[in-house]
């Protein structure tokens, strides 16, 4: 695996360093860009890592510029990692719609053509990116948390459920909780994985829970004024799944909030605090 990183930019902020980096990915076969905030820390210290997965149409830049996570991460001494949502480049196939193709990798390993060669975002997030972080930053990979928004919430939930014990904490903002039951999921999973819905279950949080996957606990925030809530997000299905499985979960319906980063930034510090408590020691 190529561990060589190119630094795109660094800025001092909240006593630490916000960096943007790029590298040639083995998983996607493309150049990938991600951001990392490293708080001020004692020489030789290794810090817990919180990975944030973004939603449809986003890159690393959305949360990096709008997420308002740095003060909380600096307070708790947490490294914050934000990858892109899909492979990019002229060689990468695309679709005219915003919810498929570039910017919409859905955190799957695609098996259908022409997507299979590059759209390997599950492999990238689960394997390649953590190895890069461990190699290049003062990261304690025994203390990891994962979180995400919308499509990235789907990614965070499913990745954590498929990898029991890897993440000490899991949270999400407005996640797509049941891709088998919504238009975004049906389009993406059909296109990337094929028509066999049995193969989709490993990419559906509610289905994974129904099939026996478990989390020690969970935090989810969902805005009541989110225009995608009823048709695409279906938060009530996650509540039903965790209740049936006995998973301790705080699923908070936040009155009047929409799907935007105004919503995410409002509750981001609470999520970082919640992850920090679980990543101690």
DSSP state of 19: E
In a domain, 1, yes or no: no
From 25, 54, 150, 169, active-site residue: 150
226 is catalytic: yes
From 154, 259, 271, 275, active-site residue: 259
Whole-prediction pTM value? 0.97
In a domain, 125, yes or no: yes
Residue 172: give the domain boundaries. Answer: 6-279
**By the 8 A CB rule, do 239 and 218 touch?**
no
CA separation for the pair 83, 277 (Å, rounded)? 24
From 84, 226, 271, 275, active-site residue: 226
In a domain, 255, yes or no: yes
pLDDT of 2 above 70: no
pLDDT, position 205: 98
CA separation for the pair 147, 136 (Å, rounded)? 21
In a domain, 32, yes or no: yes
Which contiguous run of DSSP H or E holds residue 80? strand 79-83
What is the rounded average pLDDT for all residues in the chain?
97
35 is catalytic: no
In a domain, 175, yes or no: yes
In a domain, 17, yes or no: yes
In a domain, 16, yes or no: yes
Token pair recorded at residue 35: 């951001």
pLDDT, position 1: 56
CATH number where 163 lies: 3.40.50.1820
In a domain, 260, yes or no: yes
14 is catalytic: no
Question: What tens digit of pLDDT does each residue of 250-261 get?
Answer: 999 999 999 999
**By the 8 A CB rule, do 3 and 20 touch?**
no
CA separation for the pair 117, 98 (Å, rounded)? 20
The total number of structural domains in the chain stands at 1
> What φ, ψ does residue 256 adopt, rounded to 5°?
85, -5
């Amino acid at each position: 695996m190529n561990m060589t990183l190119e630094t795109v930019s660094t800025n001092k902020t909240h006593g630490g360093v916000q960096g943007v980096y790029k590298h040639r990915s083995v998983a996607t076969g493309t150049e990938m860009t991600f951001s990392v905030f490293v708080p001020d820390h004692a020489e030789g210290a290794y810090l817990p890592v919180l990975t944030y997965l973004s939603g449809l149409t986003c890159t690393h830049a959305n949360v990096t510029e709008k997420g308002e996570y740095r003060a909380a991460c600096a307070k708790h001494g947490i490294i914050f990692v934000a990858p892109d949502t899909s492979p990019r480049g002229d060689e990468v196939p695309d679709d005219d719609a915003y919810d498929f193709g570039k910017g919409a990798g859905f955190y799957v390993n695609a098996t259908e053509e022409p997507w299979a060669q590059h759209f390997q975002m599950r492999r990238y997030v689960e394997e390649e990116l953590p190895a890069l972080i461990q190699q290049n930053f003062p990261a304690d990979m025994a203390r990891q948390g994962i979180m995400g928004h919308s499509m990235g919430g789907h990614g965070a939930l499913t990745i954590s459920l498929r990898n029991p014990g890897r993440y000490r904490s899991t949270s999400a903002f407005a996640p797509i909780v049941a891709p088998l039951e919504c238009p975004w999921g049906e389009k993406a999973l059909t296109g990337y994985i094929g028509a066999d819905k049995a193969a989709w279950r490993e990419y559906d949080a509610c289905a994974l829970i129904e099939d026996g996957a478990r989390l020690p606990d969970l935090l989810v925030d969902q805005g009541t004024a989110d225009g995608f809530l009823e048709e695409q997000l279906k938060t009530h299905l996650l509540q039903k799944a965790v209740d049936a499985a006995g998973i301790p979960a705080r699923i908070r319906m936040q009155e009047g909030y929409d799907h935007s980063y105004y919503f995410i930034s409002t509750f981001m510090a609470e999520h970082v605090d919640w992850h920090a408590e679980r990543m101690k020691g």
